[in-house]
Structure formats: structure tokens, C-alpha cells
């Protein structure tokens, strides 16, 4: 949970963002404080940090070259740039620069001009105006609905939307933005003020296909209808959706049937049908006929026909014996040590350990079931990249108009991040590669430039990315 703390020194007031989090190692709540700057307008959340002046040697004569040059090359090589030229024809340079900053130096955009002064980006994209006001104006323009619709219309069409398997998931984005979309809701840190961020991922290439943001108070189960309808408007047809349990409801089951969307989802454990199927099939599920390999693990799967709100569906009762042993032991120890009290539901709770139930609109071979369902983790992985690698949090915008532009920049950055990560092939982590490339400098003499000597690591990274350095790089 985050909040703003104010301190006064002399006749000036300063703002700090304080975030509470749970320290898993020390097993206690802790706080992280980030300095936001001098308070200009407390109601609007306008804070300004004093920016260090960069010497002429740093901002003109010796520049960080390798990271900016490679990101710029990857942007220009990506299909997404040609689509941006259609959707945002007058903003391509601004979007490219903001994405480069997000990928190379994911700090608050208010510091972008400091990075720009010492980076080769200022020779690739020249004469950029990077005051806080101008950046806000860029984000507002970038996030205009007419531009976003044109982008997604072309981007999704370019990805061959027919016959796709889509992973659909949401995550909470905690923030202190004062706008109607921000509501109290659950996040990884507990209860916080949030908006919800819906992601659609193309299973085939593990790339994000679409996003939208939602009021933080709206549960997942209410989001699916609009998300599917919007995708239909972008001509996404004949797809299979893999969904988390949060999207399961009788209405959504019926909606997906009416829209002819095939799907696989997990049945929430609080549904009566979950209890009925568990009591009926789990006691006899551990047979050779029900045994299937998943990697190096053995699972038991029982396939049965079910009726949910008049829809004929297939339920897969799945038992993971390893998880069952671990969770059952922990549960029984808690009862025997009286950490929890046994009651009439305890026996049922015990038999559900290691059990989950998947619901599908069409038949899936048991041997392929878990591999298909666990593809959903790709969406969770992308959320992790956004939050950890691209540092999308905390959200440092104060209006919905700039929020849309900021999330779009994060979306484009994520596409490039994935393309680079895939090319690195686990030989280097993304952050590691950027730090190594940053150490490749360029000395400038007016229009003449001399690139520093390559280290072994820098050479290998460039080979992975299939990027060649020119004798004389030019903007």
C-alpha cells in the first residue's frame, strides 16, 4: 500500500512516496521511501525534483552508446514501428524515445532529460523537448482513443487473429491517482487503491496482443464480456481463450457459447459443482487408467460431462499427488498442533488438497490438458516483466488522459523487451545486457564519432541481437 508523506525544511515542502510491503525473509512489514521532489501543487500532486546539471563532456562528447543504439535498431526492425507510423504518424519519434527510456532507464519520466543528455539517443532522436509539461502533453496525445484504436486495428490484423489461442488475465496496479477509476481493491500487497489492467496475450508467440484498464473495484468476472466484444470488433475470430478462475460465472459461460469462443478455465472451489465433483470422483481417481505424465510429474485426471447453466461442458478433475502430500501434511499438522480447529468441513477440506477442476467447452486430450492450461502463466510472466523489469509501478501520472499514454508506452516497450529477451536466449538477462551495452561508449567530434572497443560480452550480445555496428553510426 502506498501513500504520500510530506516534510517541511525551511520554507519549502517536499514529498516522499512511502510503500508498505511484506519482507518474506524477515517476516514483517517494511516500508520503502522514494523521494518525489519539492511540492509545487499538493492537490494536483505536482512535485519537481532538482535536476543535476550534466557536464558538457558527459552530454556532448562521450555518450552511452551501446544500449541506445541497439534498442533503436530493434525498434526500427520491429513490425510495431511500421504500425505506429500509421496510427501515430506525427508521434513516432516521441514514442520511440519514451520506449527507449522505459527499456534502458525505467525511472520516473521527469528525469528523462538527464538520461537523454548523456545517451546516444540525443543523436538518434534530435532536439526533443523533455520538460515535465511536454512529456505530459506527449502522453495525452499518444493515448488518444482514435490513435489507440487505429494501432490495435492494424497490430491485431498484422498478427493473423484467426484461429488463435488467447491468454486473458488481469492484474491490480496500486496507485495514488485521484480519478474515478482508482478504487480500493486487492493487490499483491493486500488492500490498496488500484486500477485493474487487463492483458490479452497471443499464446503462439507469447507477445501481448491487447490491453485495457478498468476501474479497480470491478471484479474479473464482470470484465470478460467487454473484453471479448472489443476483440470481436478487431476481427479476432475463431479463438480459444484460456482463463483464470476469476472469470468463471454462469453468465460468462453462456456469453462465450453465444460468441462461439472456445475456452478452458479453472472452476472456482466455492461452487457447489466443485464439491459435487470432488466428492463423487476424487475417492476413486488414483488408478492406472487415470494416470498421466506432466513433465516429470504424475497427475490423475478424470474427464466427465457436466451441465452448467444449461451449457453442456467437459470437466476435468485433476489430482496432483505431490501437492496433495505436501498440503495434506501441513493441514493435518495445523489441526493436530491446534493452529486451526477441526470442524464438520475438515474432512472435505482434506480431500481437496492437491485437487483442481478445469472446465472446457470442447474435448481436450488428457495428456495435453495441463500443458495447455499452464500456458496461462505466460500472461502472469508478462505482468512480472512490466512490474519488475520495466518498473511500471508506481504509476506517476495524475490524469486518465496521461495514464492511457503511459500504459501504451509500457505496452510497446514490453513488445520490444520480449523480442530482445527471446534473441538473448537465456545467455544474458535483459538488464544485464543493457548494463553491458551501456558501457560501450562513443566519443563525438562534431559530426564524427568513434565507437569504443568491444568487450567479449558486448560482441556476443550484438551477435544474439543480429546487430552490426557501423563504422560511423549516424542518426
CA distance 184 to 194: 6
Pair type for strands 240-243 and 262-266: parallel
CA distance 240 to 262: 5
Report CA dihedral (389, 390, 393, 399) to the nearest 10 degrees: -170
* One-character DSSP codes across 121-178: HHHHS-S----HHHHHHHHHHHT-HHHHHHHHHHHHHHT--TT-EEEEEEEEEE----
CA distance 422 to 411: 17
CA distance 423 to 362: 35
Question: Residue 338, Cα to own-chain centre: how many angstroms?
Answer: 40
CA distance 166 to 41: 44
Of 229, 197, 153, 109, which Cα lies nearest the Cα of 387?
197
The DSSP letter of residue 271 is S
Give the three-state DSSP class for 373.
helix
Q: What is the pTM of this model?
A: 0.78
Cell of 186: 486487492
Q: Would you give per-residue pLDDT tens digits along the chain (475 residues)?
A: 567 877 776 567 777 777 766 555 555 666 677 767 778 777 666 666 654 444 333 446 899 999 999 999 999 999 999 999 999 999 999 999 999 999 998 877 878 888 999 999 999 998 788 888 889 899 999 999 999 999 999 999 988 766 678 899 888 787 656 666 666 555 555 555 678 888 899 888 888 999 988 887 787 888 888 888 888 888 887 788 999 898 999 999 998 998 888 999 999 999 999 999 999 999 999 999 999 999 889 999 999 999 999 999 999 999 999 999 999 999 999 999 888 888 888 999 999 999 999 999 999 999 999 999 988 888 888 888 888 778 776 666 667 778 899 999 999 999 999 999 999 998 999 999 999 999 999 999 888 899 999 999 999 999 999 999 987 544 4
Domains contained in the chain, CATH given: 2-48 (no CATH), 58-135+426-465 (no CATH), 149-386 (3.90.350.10)
CA distance 434 to 67: 5
Amino acid at each position: 500500500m502506498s501513500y504520500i508523506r510530506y516534510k517541511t525544511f525551511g520554507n519549502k515542502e517536499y514529498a516522499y512516496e512511502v510503500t508498505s510491503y511484506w519482507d518474506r525473509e524477515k517476516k514483517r512489514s517494511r516500508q520503502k521511501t522514494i523521494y518525489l521532489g519539492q511540492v509545487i501543487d499538493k492537490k494536483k500532486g505536482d512535485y519537481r525534483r532538482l535536476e543535476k546539471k550534466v557536464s558538457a563532456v558527459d552530454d556532448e562528447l562521450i555518450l552511452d552508446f551501446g544500449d541506445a543504439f541497439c534498442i533503436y535498431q530493434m525498434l526500427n526492425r520491429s513490425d510495431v514501428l511500421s504500425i505506429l507510423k500509421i496510427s501515430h504518424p506525427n508521434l513516432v519519434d516521441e514514442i520511440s524515445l519514451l520506449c527507449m527510456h522505459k527499456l534502458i532507464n525505467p525511472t520516473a519520466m521527469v528525469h528523462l532529460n538527464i538520461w537523454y543528455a548523456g545517451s546516444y539517443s540525443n543523436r538518434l532522436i534530435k532536439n526533443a523537448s523533455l520538460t515535465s509539461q511536454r512529456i505530459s502533453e506527449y502522453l495525452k496525445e499518444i493515448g488518444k482513443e482514435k490513435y489507440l484504436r487505429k494501432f490495435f486495428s492494424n497490430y491485431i490484423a498484422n498478427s493473423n487473429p484467426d484461429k488463435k489461442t488467447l491468454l486473458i488475465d488481469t492484474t491490480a496496479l496500486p496507485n495514488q491517482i485521484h480519478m474515478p477509476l482508482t478504487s480500493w481493491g486487492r493487490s499483491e500487497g493486500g488492500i490498496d487503491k488500484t486500477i485493474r489492467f487487463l492483458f490479452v496475450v497471443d499464446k503462439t508467440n507469447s507477445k501481448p496482443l491487447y490491453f485495457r484498464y478498468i476501474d479497480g473495484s470491478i471484479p474479473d468476472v464482470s470484465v470478460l464480456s467487454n473484453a471479448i466484444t472489443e476483440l470481436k470488433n478487431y476481427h479476432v475470430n475463431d479463438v480459444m481463450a484460456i482463463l483464470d478462475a476469476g472469470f468463471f460465472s454462469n453468465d460468462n459461460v453462456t456469453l462465450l457459447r453465444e460468441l462461439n469462443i472456445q475456452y478452458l478455465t479453472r472452476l472456482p472451489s466455492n461452487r457447489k459443482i466443485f464439491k459435487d465433483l470432488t466428492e463423487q470422483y476424487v475417492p476413486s481417481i488414483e488408478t492406472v487408467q487415470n494416470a498421466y505424465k506432466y513433465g516429470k510429474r504424475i497427475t490423475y485426471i478424470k474427464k466427465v460431462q457436466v451441465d452448467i447453466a444449461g451449457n453442456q461442458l467437459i470437466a476435468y478433475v485433476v489430482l496432483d499427488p505431490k501437492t496433495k502430500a505436501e498440503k495434506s501434511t501441513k493441514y493435518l499438522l495445523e489441526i493436530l498442533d491446534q493452529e486451526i480447529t477441526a470442524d464438520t468441513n475438515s474432512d472435505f477440506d482434506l480431500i481437496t488438497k492437491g485437487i483442481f477442476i478445469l472446465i472446457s467447452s470442447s474435448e481436450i486430450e488428457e495428456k495435453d490438458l495441463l500443458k495447455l492450461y499452464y500456458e496461462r502463466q505466460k500472461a502472469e510472466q508478462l505482468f512480472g516483466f512490466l512490474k519488475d523489469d520495466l518498473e511500471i509501478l508506481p504509476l506517476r501520472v495524475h490524469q486518465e488522459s496521461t495514464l492511457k499514454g503511459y500504459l501504451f508506452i509500457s505496452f510497446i516497450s514490453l513488445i520490444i523487451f520480449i523480442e530482445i529477451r527471446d534473441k538473448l536466449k537465456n545467455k544474458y538477462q535483459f538488464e544485464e545486457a543493457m548494463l553491458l551495452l551501456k558501457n560501450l561508449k562513443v566519443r563525438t567530434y562534431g559530426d564524427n564519432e568513434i565507437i569504443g572497443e568491444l568487450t567479449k560480452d558486448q560482441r556476443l550480445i550484438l551477435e544474439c541481437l543480429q546487430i552490426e555496428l557501423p563504422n560511423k553510426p549516424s542518426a
